[in-house]
Chain A
Amino acid sequence: MAACAKGLDKCMFSLRLLRNLRLQNERFISTSLGRLAPKEPSKFTPPPKPVVIDKTQTVASLRKFLSPEFIPPRQRTDPFKFAIERKDMIRRRKVLNIPEFYAGCILAVTMADPNASGKINRFVGICIQRGGKGLGATFVLRNIIDNQGVEICYELYSPRVQKIDVLKFEKRLDDNLMYLRDALTEYSTVDPDMKPVPYSSTDEVPVNKMKVRMRPKPWSKRWERPKFNIQGIRFDLSLTPEKMEHAQKWAQPWREYDMLKEYETSKLEEEILSEVQLEMSK
């Protein structure tokens, strides 16, 4: 009894030593930083208020984001199929961190490749489209390398994908940026050695309201037609007002009132979001 008490004593003592050492080191680091920072001119600046990181609040104030591939499409399949698919998606997400991103973000993906040197390859590009539902969800990254436009379609849940980084976090005016193929090359070039831009996980997603200039027509698709509903192109530089009016002939104004074409997902989204958050926290 005496022996184990002595042992306990010793480890308590060592613990206290370690704690004191750590505290001393922290104090040392903070004071040294203060000395290295440049001195302000002699104007009274009040001391900075202590930043209180309230850990209990961060979870609630985080942006509520449900990846679009979780929302099941409107089909006659059994919801059980989507439930087991969601389980598998969550299992993969626990291994690989898939960050929140939108069309318009700049991503860097490292993938395992048996033919590359070092067995992995890294590609940086703008995400122009997010497609597919469930485990087959994909996203297409576009970049221009050596004057050649390159688009790679990656599967989010593929086991070859090793890392997905968001280098720049922003949204654009549209969900589908396929028109970048017909835009000037400067809008699709991304520096492969770009440094990641830090972004907060609590604020609103920043929207880049850039309007893109296009190459002369013909384009791969008639982007001016209302069915694409593109906001992010400067049509006034490439099309006359008569052509814009002519394109409005394909507008179907009755479509927004056709209740058969609506698919309300808000309730589904809430349920699935709560389920996914619960499973990810386990």
Chain B
Amino acid sequence: MRLTLQMLISHGRVARKMGLGPQSRLDMLRNILTGLVRHERIETTAARADEVRFYAEKLVDYAKKGDTDEKAMKMASFWLTEKDLVPKLFKVLAPRFETQSNGYTRMARIPNRENLDRAKMAVVEYKGNPFPPLYPVKKENELTLLNQLLKGYREERAQELSTTSTI
């Protein structure tokens, strides 16, 4: 029957089903997004983290329009349940991402939850947060033989160039 087939087939549906229904899903995502804006790094289940990423980036796009814009203010006051985060969104997060056009968030998987459900967990963060990086930056060891030889070569070249330039 045509009436129900559209509801049974989910081709092209982008939104995951969460909670008790569409309203419950949006409320849950609202809470997670408020926590993300307050703490700038949050760990939740992987599915919720993935959903919240989209809404987090769209919220920053709205915040970039400025707090004089009516629609932006309405969106911010709907999505942020704690109202003291609304100025933080417009005055801290929006200027931070002024130069970028997309990709304000980062997601990384972490070991499964310790509970009985062993749920897939993930960390979402806004880029440019003050915490240490999620993926630690690998520092090259200066004391290996190859690095020492290269360092010596670079110093000799610098010396040669300075003597030839003075002559």
Contact = CB atoms under 8 A, between A and B. Distances in A.
Contacts of B145: none
Contact of A257 (B12, B15, B54, B75): B75
A114 to B, nearest CB: 31
Contacts of B26: 254, 257-258
Nearest to B26: A254
B78 A260 contact: no
Interface of A: 75-76, 252, 254, 257-260
A257 B14 contact: no
B22 A257 contact: no
Interface size class of B (residues with CB under 8 A): 10 to 19
A76 B14 CA distance: 12
B21 to A, nearest CB: 10
A257 B23 contact: no
B58 interface: yes
Contacts of A257: 26, 74-75, 78-79
B22 A259 contact: no
Interface of A is mostly: loop
B153 interface: no
A252 B22 contact: yes
Nearest to A259: B58
Interface of B: 12, 14-15, 22-23, 26, 54-55, 58-59, 62, 74-75, 78-79
Nearest to B55: A259
A252 B23 CA distance: 8
A259 B14 CA distance: 12
A254 B74 CA distance: 12
10 contacts: A254-B22, A257-B74, A257-B78, A257-B79, A259-B54, A259-B58, A259-B62, A259-B75, A260-B14, A260-B54
B20 to A, nearest CB: 13
Nearest to B51: A260
A37 to B, nearest CB: 54
A76 B12 contact: yes
Contacts of B75: 257, 259
A259 B56 CA distance: 10
B145 to A, nearest CB: 53
B29 to A, nearest CB: 10
Contacts of A75: 12
Contacts of A258: 26
A254 B23 contact: yes
A260 B59 CA distance: 11
Given A254-B26, A260-B54, 17 more contacts: A75-B12, A252-B22, A254-B22, A254-B23, A257-B26, A257-B74, A257-B75, A257-B78, A257-B79, A258-B26, A259-B54, A259-B58, A259-B59, A259-B75, A260-B14, A260-B15, A260-B55
A27 to B, nearest CB: 60
Nearest to A257: B78
A76 B11 CA distance: 11
Contacts of B15: 260
A259 B58 CA distance: 7
Top 4 A-B pairs ranked by shortest CB distance?
A259-B58, A257-B78, A254-B26, A260-B15
Contacts of B59: 259
Nearest to B15: A260
A155 to B, nearest CB: 21
